[in-house]
Structure 1
């Protein structure tokens, strides 16, 4: 490698290489980008010129920075992105401006958000586990334990190549190291459990703004277990790492389990054994709750994986929680930061109208007209495309009931879904007079083309088709169902999302040809007092009761 390459790359790791190195694959891994994308890709270009090619770039930690303005600019010209980039970052308010699906999505051409947790197997066969733990769940992490029954019972499991986490694991820094006290408040017990169980060859973290490379540690108990691979822990800060590594599955057992001279004991074994919550005995009557979550997880032994483009494979991750001896519900933990998750204590419950098993009805803040309602999902689903069939069935049932209610009032309804700048499914349902039903299609088509901040040019969908025939999860879109049963739809170009008006649907329906209430386009300008909203919700509950299927 040339001196120029060495100065551009802060460190080069080589492990398990044959002299030919024809089965080793190069990755670049970066810490906190903090929105400095021009600087990042300028450095990447220098590295590629001096030491490329590299298969991909993985960015861990604060990716967007405080404003995210520079990301808008770089997305306007994707040709400036020289390498496929995968992002693992906390779901901050800035990040949620660009992330359309917390399960993973394309941010712009060549830049992909991995999601909050999961597995990723590259085309070359590298096995990667990634996770970003929610601080709200970390607060009560001492009530959680993790089990990896499939990993422990599978003799063929030999670890993963990379573990990427935004948070540092608890216990990773030796207590006699001065750094231990500096990062103690920012460590995660959740991540410690995960690191112990998936036995990664490399564990990369970010978010503390500290560069730290720990001596490798072993993943077996000396004289008690067979030798296993060692783990190298690296805290990136803003450093750029070049990693040339042979996949676990392509290494011999001797190569994989080689123990370097400076290897240390596993930092988790004794510490996690002391903090683990005892499993309840079957005879105690304790109920075991199994839930889907974004936090602790294990990969089931079943070989049910879905292939995504780029070689991606998502495993079926689950969590087991030993909770209260008398739990009342087997419900998943929710996204505490989401305004629309019913489990969020800050949800505006005075606006609720009715709740079904998988969906619920609520009034919006600042409704366009009386009768304007929202259909939302009880669980956290980002869009119609990510809703399971059972959830979609409840949504359709609400639509059918509302349609019948409005018909008795001599009205028809328009529904639209704005799948951009939002991370929880919400369907706007707006009643309009029967007399203007025929004007709605024309208004949406014309204004989607003429308004400067329209998200896209809407196109009619065939009656027998659905959104899923034209769009994949993670892609932003706008969708309308007309009173006539016709549908309008289009995907939104990534470089257009940031400039798209979130009030586009309201603007169309508030236009002179439909409801003629332009003063109510922006909901913030027509909100009522909580007392008035409570009264409106009560009136809607009374009116809807005769049609409620829930």
Structure 2
């Protein structure tokens, strides 16, 4: 029988990690063991006096003894510490379960949800921001992500916020309410609106400087009650309670009768339901109806290249992702080259097109595909950065082609199983001749591509699925591949909302190119792409095409489409194709199974 998770809740830490973990050690000895600490309120120091002690833990001079999650991303040194964490390679992509700051310390960024020891945890990090995102501020996009979470099946177990919800002390005796709570500061109407929709079993907040355990209250249109805890700051002079232990059984394992139990002191919901509902509908964005998915986290910043006259790459930028010289650097800060370097491509090969060390070099002397590829074998000798067909792992005539992944071959394109597929039946549509994009295919090639797409759509509908197609076109002439990923029909309505929210997190808005017939949408897409820039587009099941021109200085994630869909499908660990690689024997089995099922729909079998 599974053990019920045991969690400690903490109020504003204010950098006092020594006091936090001293109290943890004491509580853990008497009532443990505990699985994690969840911190609300301001996590970072209030003044520089506390900074040295705090940084001892961040820099590893002192050990953090238990997994600790925090949402109060503001205070002294927070921009420096959090910027460094956000730029760590392991923290890029879909990271709703926390960005790792140092061993055992995780930053819950923005608004989202994740599962912790079987418990469903939602969070809204920081305080309300009237404009753009900054550390310590939440934005409208973060709120939208949580509104989407409301539509998810199941009952959220825990909701973490920094601010108290406005009105939480309504409908209780004033004798039971600490006098400090009558001050309306640190009370947030948006948090109140969200908690009405989310209906968590536990709502935890800080920032008020006082401990308050509210009587449980009943939720509208739900069987279960919500318990609210406001926690005091760590080490506060008034000796208010700053740490509280809970051991809730995950709602996903509870029966309806267990969920519906109401303590005798249960009150009515304290919030003004009608006002909150009206506010939610007023502020709702187009396309927000029925989004059925979790969201994702990127902290990818736009960076400038170096001086345009230089063709050499900056080693500092390629190795670390940043350069202290910034725009004054005379070398190129190239995001694509950094991605290649991170995948093991030789710096000299990237910079010069060749490496003098030859076979003694331990790094790759060919470019690695930015997405899932049919092959990526290392050639015996180096080559120029501009790939030719004989070296390309996608060209059908290439000696490096892994032909066992091929499913069907036409006159202009072939279909192949993706290497490291996100889901079963994840395939690629690839031009036979070396081409930088499927948008540059001849009219006959376009017609064949459309037939392939229609066949895949029909095939997937027989399995209760829709298909999402996307392509990332780079300026480096990589061999084109249009990715086709099946999505359950129950999640299809959320795809547009999710891609638009992901775009906003990266600082751009998609252009909606067409929302009607799929073939006409593709024709319009071709007419808008000039072939001179980077470009990403996604074709949605309802015919909508979303496009984005990737600017010269934009650090656009190579696996953007895959990362977004991994969030939709709740398989964030598969956002990177390298986590999904299987043996050649397994690949052969997967391809043969797909061929067998797809044969009746294959346009090349007619």
TM-score after normalising by structure 1: 0.48
More strand by percentage: 1
TM-score after normalising by structure 2: 0.44
Structure with higher RCO (Cα < 8 A, 6+ apart): 1
